[in-house]
Structure 1
Amino acid sequence: MEADSQEALRPFIEAEREFVQLQAAGDHDGAVRCLEAVLRAEQATVQQMPDTMLSTLFERLAIGYNTLGMKHLKDNNTEVSCKFFEKAEALTDPANLHMNAESRLVLRAVTYNNMGCFYKSFGKLHTALQYLKKAQRIEEQSRGRCQNPAGTHLNLCALLSQMGKHQEALQHADKALKKLEAAQKQSPPPEGGSLPPVAGSTNSESLICVAYFNMGAEYEHLKKPAEALWHYQRVTS
C-alpha cells in the first residue's frame, strides 16, 4: 500500500526536481509550466496528497509566478505581468488551506509588494499605495518572518515621494534604515576574519545606502539642507 502511495507521488517529486533545475537555469516559464502541468494532470492524487508536500508545490509555484511577473514587468509586457501577479494573489489567498499558513503570508506580502511596484510603474499611484500598505500590514503581523520588510518601507518611501508626501516618505525611509541596521547588528561576524561575507550582506549594505540617500532627498524636499547633507554624506562614508 505504501509502495502504491509512493508511486502516485512520483510525478510530483519529479516535477518539483525539474522545477528547481529549470529555475536554476533561468527558465522560469518552463519551471512554472511543469508544475502547473502535473497539478492539472494528477488532480485525483492532489486531493489525497499530504498537505506538507502540496504546500511546498504551491509555495514554489507562487515564487515562480512572482518571478515571472517581475520579469515581464521589466520587459514592459504589462498584460502578461499582471496575469502572473493575479495568479500569485489567488494562490496565496487565505482560502487556500493547503498552503502552510506562515509561508502563505510571507508569499502574500511578496506578491502585494510586487503588485505595488507593478501599478507604480505606469502611474496608478493610489492603487500601488494600497498594495504596498497591504504588504506592510502582513509584515508587521508576521513578527519578523517576512523576507524584506525594509524593502517594503523603501518602496513606500519612493511612492509617497512621487505623490508629494515627503514627510510620510521620510518616515518610511527612516523605518527601513532602522530595520536594516538592526538586522546587520544581529548578523554574526565571520570567525577568524578570513571568511568571505555572508550571502546577502552586500545587498543589506547597498539598501542601507539607498535608505540614507532617500532620507537625504526627502529632507531636501522638506527644505532642511543640513539634515539632507548629513544623510547624503553617510552614503559615501
Structure 2
Amino acid sequence: MDNKELTPSQASIIISDHNKQAIELLTSKNYQQSFNLLKKAQDLLNKIDQRDRLYPITYNNLGCFYKTLKKFDLAQLMFEKSLEHKNSEKSLTAGTHLNLSSIFSMNKLHSKALNNALTAFSILQEVYEGDPNSADSLIFAAFVTGKEYEALKEIKQAEKYYQHGLDLATDNNSTDYYEKISNALSLLKKKRIGTSKARYESNMRRAELPTINTDRSEFKKQYIVKDDYKKATPRVYHNYPPILGLPYQRNLTTAVQNSHKKTNSNINQIKKELLVYEKKLKKITGTRNEPVTRTPKRINLPKIPYIKPIKAYSPGYDPSVNPASPVSVDVNRMAIIIQKHWRGYRDRKACRQRRRKLAQFRAQEAIAELEMLKVLIKKSKDSEGQL
C-alpha cells in the first residue's frame, strides 16, 4: 500500500511498529536497519495528528540512536524536538529530560544537566504517587540528580538524593540500582571525610596534655602520667662579620668597620701565635712536616675473555687470493636493527588499516546525516507550501 493511501489509524500502527523494531535493532547494534526504520517512521508522521504521542516517541528514539553513535549535537536536537510536542504521558517526558541530562553531562555542562534531572525527578515523583510500579524510574532519576550534584561539588545535596534513592530501593525491593547507589554513597562519604579539616590546624605544639578532673592528693599524684612536650625553640639570628674589600657590599659606618677590623686582627694574631707554638713543639719532639705516603691496595679483577667478531666479506671476494683486512660485523647488533625496522613496518601497516576503517565508518555516518538533513529540508518545504 502506498503512503498516500494510508489512513491516520493505519499510519499510527505502522509508526509504532517501526519504532519498536528500530529500538530492538539498535540494542543488537544493527545501526543501518534501525536508522532506515526510524526514517520511515519520521516520514509517516505527516499522516497523523501532531498531538499524537507517536511524535515525541519517534523523535526521542532518533535522539537515542544519535546518542548511541556519539553524535551528541544531533541527539540534543532530537530530544528538544521531542519535548516541543506536548505529551500526556509524563513518564515519557521525564525519560526525555533524563536523556537530555546525560547529553549535557557528557559535554560537561553539569548545571544544565542538573536542571533536566531535577525536572525529571519532580515529574516522576508525581507519577510514583499514583503508580507505585514506576519506582525504578524514580530511583534512577534520584541517582542521576545525585551524580550531577556531586559533579558540581554540592556534597550535601548529592548525599540527600543518593539516600532518597537508596530508601526507595529498599522499600520497593529494587535490586537494579541498589548496589550502584550504595557504592556511590560510600565513596561520597569517604570524600567528605577526606576533605574535612583537622581538629588542630596549628602546627605549634601544645605545652602539656589536657588533664582529667581527678583527686589531687599527694598520694594519687604520683600515679598520674603527664607528658610534657618541648616547646618550639625560637629562631636565633647570627650576626656574622661581613667580608671586607668586596666590590659590591653595603656601606658600613666607621664604628662598625673598626669593630670588624679589630676582630679580624685578633684572629690573625691568635693564628700567628699558634704557628709559633707548633714549631716549638716540633723541635722538641723531633717531628717534621713530611708528606704522608699511602700505598693503594691492588685489586685483582677477573680477566674477561676476548671474543673475536665474526668476519664477513663482500660478495665475490676470495680471502685466500687477497688477504685484506675483512669487515667485522656484530651479528647481535644487526639482528636488533632488522627487528626494529620490521616492527616499525608492522605497526605502520596496522595503523593504516585502522585509519581506513575509521574513514569508512565516518563516511557512513556522514551519508546517514545527509539523508536525515534531506528529509528535514523536504519536510520544511512541504510545511511552507501548505502555509
Distance in 2, matches of 1:55 and 1:138, equals 18
Aligned residues between the structures: 167
Aligned-partner Cα distance in 2 for 1:120–1:161:
12
Superposition map of 1:96-175 within 5 A: 96=47, 99-103=48-52, 106-139=53-86, 142=87, 144=88, 148-175=92-119
The match for 2:123 is 179
Question: What SS does the aligned partner of 2:108 have?
Answer: coil
Give the counterpart letter for 1:228 in structure 2.
A
User: What's the counterpart of residue 67 of structure 1?
Assistant: 20
Partner Cα distance (2:153, 2:93) in 1: 28
Q: Over residues 45-64 of structure 1, what are the superposed CA-to-partner deviations in whole Å (9 max), with x where a residue is unaligned?
A: x84x8xxxx22211111001
Measure the CA separation in 2 of the matches of 1:118 and 1:182.
29
Which stretches in structure 2 are left out of the alignment for 5+ residues? Answer: 168-387
SS across alignment from 2:29: coil
Q: Report the alpha carbon displacement of residue 102 of structure 1 after superposing the two structures with TM.
A: 2.8
TM-score by length of 1: 0.66
Q: Secondary structure at the match of 2:149?
A: helix
Structure of larger gyration radius:
2
What is the distance in 2 between the residues matched to 1:145 and 1:236? 26
- In 2, Cα distance between equivalents of 1:102 and 1:174: 25
Q: 1:173 to 1:147 in 2, by over 3 A?
A: closer
* Alignment match of 2:148 (pick from 188, 204, 218): 218
Distance 2:55 2:31 in 1: 20
Tell me if the contact between 1:115 and 1:128 (Cα under 8 Å) persists in the aligned partners: yes
Deviation at 1:146, TM superposition (A): 6.8
TM superposition shift of 1:107: 0.7
Q: In structure 2, the residue corresponding to 1:102 is in which secondary structure?
A: coil
Greater helix proportion: 1
Q: Give the whole-Å Cα distance in 1 for the aligned partners of 2:59 and 2:127.
A: 23
Contact 2:91 2:124 in 1 (8 A): no
- 1:199-223 CA-partner distances (Å, limit 9, x unpaired): xx42x21111011100100011101
Shift of 1:224: 1.0
Per-residue CA deviation, residues 59-82 of structure 1 (Å, 9 max, x unaligned), is 111001111111111111101110
Give distance in 1, aligned partners of 2:8 and 2:36: 22
Q: CA deviation at 1:169?
A: 0.5
Quote the Cα distance in structure 2 between the aligned partners of 1:179 and 1:102: 20
- Structure-1 residue corresponding to 2:223: none
Residue 22 (structure 2) pairs with residue 78 (structure 1): no
**TM-score, with normalisation over the residues of structure 2?**
0.41
Structure with the greater relative contact order (CA < 8 A, sep ≥ 6): 1 or 2? 1
What is the root-mean-square deviation of aligned Cα atoms in Å?
A: 1.9
CA–CA distance in 2 between the matches of 1:89 and 1:146?
22
Question: Structure 1, unaligned stretches of length 5 or more?
Answer: 1-38, 188-197
Q: Does the CA-based 8 Å contact 1:109-1:146 persist in structure 2?
A: no
Q: Which runs of 4+ in 1 moved over 3 A?
A: none
Could you tell me which residue of structure 1 aligns to residue 165 of structure 2?
235
Identity of matched residues, %: 28
- 8 Å CA contact 1:116–1:131 kept in 2: the answer is yes
